[in-house]
Structure 1
């Protein structure tokens, strides 16, 4: 595949992966009712998916290194599609949660293989720009996919929110299987943990990874609690909540475009630190303003959009800065980045589900704690 084709395939892979997180969110109240379960099911269904993504991710990095990112991408697409189709016929909450865990594992393989394509084909500033394009797919999954999920749920039922990405995954996998495989450089066999231990002991790798992970955890915690918060406290309908996807998309899009420009004009380490500072300011605004006026959703929506601008800037930068420390080991690097991020997000979502974040102020305080941790991780190392 050409560089442009590889970028397009990586973007589609990430879009499909993230659709497993956001597409069904507007349907959560309906799913809870139909499967006869409770509100904890909402956070648990997301936490299990993220946990499933994280647990075998390091294994996927080794598999991709030996089989090739192209081959693993095809297999991951097909498995991800099968799990999605199985979710469309689930009949009880335990079955649903078990399938979400398995679907998360296949999504982890898809994410690793898709992202590993970029360091294999781009370098330097162009790699940061490639990651910023990849973040556009995250924009679509945050906003447009949320809106699409609301439309699907309204007009075709909640099961269609799993059927559509499943069918798309299978079709993409079958299409890629017909393409000529790119040349795969031989990979020197090492012990399973060797590459990962070296990366974890490299400060220039792990610091931006942690910064991006804390920012990602904010988004996951928000998505875990927002559907019930908006539909119960602010009396929004599923469709109204889906419409929130558009300002969310615009905010993250703005951030990714700033990151794209930053890659050519500024110090990326300093830019990452400033982006994380924006997260702190925005989360502080959410907690303070919501405590003063808890009846208005605007004090949750506007600060969250600012958080997304900051994360849209920071996430491509953190991935690019981290991957530059890993020449010749892109699959393992992307696997470790994914493992750290998904583990952090799953723990944050699971922990927040125990705290009953039923108001914008409480949600804002949780986001603020994560934002401060992101800012501390992103501080440029003093020489």
Structure 2
């Protein structure tokens, strides 16, 4: 068994958390080919992404509270097993309808990795260190979405789109083996919570009355919606509209992930020096700048790969800065129900992003305009959420973080 505080344990938790970006990013280059193979339109294929996010959101409301009662590890084992089986269903789906069902089930199982990975970090490291550890986990995880579209493009060219889901199933199998044999339980017995519906609803109700929790969550969800709008529309914009080859699309995606990676490194490096809320302020400003620039270029009729990728790199630097800090900010005041807090945080994040992604798919006009407007609006909303809900309440939130906790 690994030690809870070992770097290897952090690496395993990062790999489990990477299930989310892998399941969304790896098949992006294959989306146009999937539409053709399954005899359907771009809107239906984009729905596989939005439905994945909807299933992901719903599952989080269950797996977090269940893990507060039974521990993180058994819920993760069950979730990853479902993810593996659903990935195989996607790989052999004969129609878009079966693929949609498979994607929903894949999300329902895959949610256990990111949600409980975050909760386990909160269990192990306490409120003050959680933001720093999550930042470095995000930096390490950035390798997965950077390589995923390139791997997906290679699998598409040589083996067809179905092979993407076979590889995801293999990844889940390896993680299931490591999880079962090597990862210890992070939640002590004395910290277990009741799964009575009344207790769960009471925790959710308490969280929804915390202005700081709502502020951090909405700031995160707005920025994540901009990221998801890009995931939902970029393959059709860059590959179909602007004529970018699938392999080059993967290379462009590396630039996007490099922006996120840079942001997470800055977030971890300056976490103690600047503090959580000043970092979030800088992150939201970058999101508003990048998203606004992309929207302005699209409105002006500037349709070129650089007009999409360049501004989104700036947007993603902001996302990388604020994402781990907002997660830590939402979870830090609630050690007694970290699983429930992580669940509700993720549910709101994914639900809002799924709606934005669905809108981008339904209103796609064949150009980059709809996607760019959605990303611009997301950056602006992230900034407004921070300024209106977080900034004036930073001191109480930071004060909570400064208190040492027993058992960490």
Q: Measure the CA separation in 2 of the matches of 1:296 and 1:175.
A: 44
In the alignment, is residue 272 of structure 1 matched against residue 280 of structure 2?
A: yes
Q: Which moved more, 1:219-228 or 1:355-364?
A: 355-364
Q: Say whether the 8 Å CA contact 1:294–1:359 is kept in structure 2.
A: no
Please state if 1:195 is matched with 2:207.
Answer: no
Q: Please state whether the residue corresponding to 2:142 is helix, strand or coil.
A: helix
Partner of 2:61: 58
Instruction: Measure how far apart 1:47 and its partner are.
Output: 0.6
Alignment of 1:62-77 (within 5 A): 62-77=65-80
Tell me how far 1:125 sits from its aligned partner.
3.9
State the partner residue of 2:237: 229
User: Are 2:137 and 1:134 equivalent residues in the alignment?
Assistant: yes
The one of 83, 87, 90 aligned to 1:87 = 90
The correspondence for 1:347, drawn from 327, 348, 355, is 355
Deviation of residue 356 (structure 1)? 1.8
Give distance in 1, aligned partners of 2:308 and 2:329. 31
Structure 1 match to 2:396: none
Residue 217 of structure 1: aligned partner: 225
Deviates more, 1:359-368 or 1:11-20: 359-368
Q: Distance in 2 between matches of 1:83 and 1:251?
A: 31
Residue 194 (structure 2) pairs with residue 184 (structure 1):
no
Q: What does the per-residue CA deviation read over 1:180-205, in whole Å, with 9 as the maximum and x for residues that have no partner?
A: 74363232425221111111110111
Structure 2 stretches lacking a partner, 5+ long: 394-408
User: C-alpha offsets along residues 264-318 of structure 1, whole Å, 9 cap, x if unaligned?
Assistant: 2012112202211111111111122233353321111100000000000010110
How many residues are aligned here? Answer: 383
> How far is the alpha carbon of 1:243 from its aligned partner?
1.4
CA distance in 2, matches of 1:110, 1:224: 22
CA contact (8 A) 1:225 1:357 kept: no
Shift of 1:170: 1.6
Secondary structure of the structure 2 residue equivalent to 1:123: helix
The structure-2 alpha-carbon separation of the partners of 1:240 and 1:290, relative to structure 1 and needing over 3 Å to count, comes to same
Compute the displacement of 1:105 (Å). 0.9
The structure-2 alpha-carbon separation of the partners of 1:296 and 1:81, relative to structure 1 and needing over 3 Å to count, comes to same
In 2, Cα distance between equivalents of 1:208 and 1:192: 21
2:87–2:169 CA contact under 8 A, matched in 1: yes
Pair 1:241 & 2:242 matched: no
8 Å CA contact 2:42, 2:361 repeated in 1:
no
Q: Distance in 2 between matches of 1:295 and 1:63?
A: 48
Shift of 1:111: 2.2
1:97 paired to 2:100: yes
Q: Which residue of 1 aligns with 2:397?
A: none
Return the offset for 1:142: 3.1
Q: CA 1:139–1:382 in 2, change beyond 3 Å: closer, same or farther?
A: same
Task: Give the TM-score normalised by the residue count of structure 2.
Answer: 0.90
Distance 1:137 1:67 in 2: 29
- CA–CA distance in structure 2, aligned partners of residues 43 and 81 of structure 1: 22
RMSD: 1.7
Residue 161 of structure 1, CA deviation? 1.0
> Quick one: structure 1 residues 188 and 242, their matched pair in 2 at CA, closer, same or farther if it must change by over 3 Å?
closer
The equivalent of 1:25 in structure 2 is 28
Q: CA deviation at 1:26?
A: 0.3
> 2-side partners of 1:5 and 1:75: how far apart?
22
Q: Deviation digits for residues 207-261 of structure 1, max 9, x if unmatched? A: 0111011100111111111101111221112111111122112111110011011
How far did 1:357 drift?
4.7
Whole-Å separation in 1 of the counterparts to 2:127 and 2:57: 27
User: 1:21-68 CA deviation, whole Å, 9 max, x = no partner?
Assistant: 110010011111111111112221101100111113111111111111
TM-score by length of 1: 0.95
In 2, are the aligned partners of 1:11 and 1:133 still within 8 Å (CA)?
no
Structure 1 runs not aligned, ≥5 long: none
Distance 1:78 1:288, change over 3 A: same
- Secondary structure at the aligned position of 2:336 is classed as coil
In structure 2, distance between residues paired with 1:60 and 1:231: 37
**1:382 is matched with which residue: 392, 396, 408?**
392
Tell me which residue corresponds to 2:401: none
Look up the SS of the partner of 2:182 in the other structure: coil
Q: Does 1:288 align with 2:296?
A: yes
Distance (whole Å) between structure 2 residues aligned to residue 30 and residue 195 of structure 1: 44
More displaced stretch, 317-326 vs 107-116: 107-116
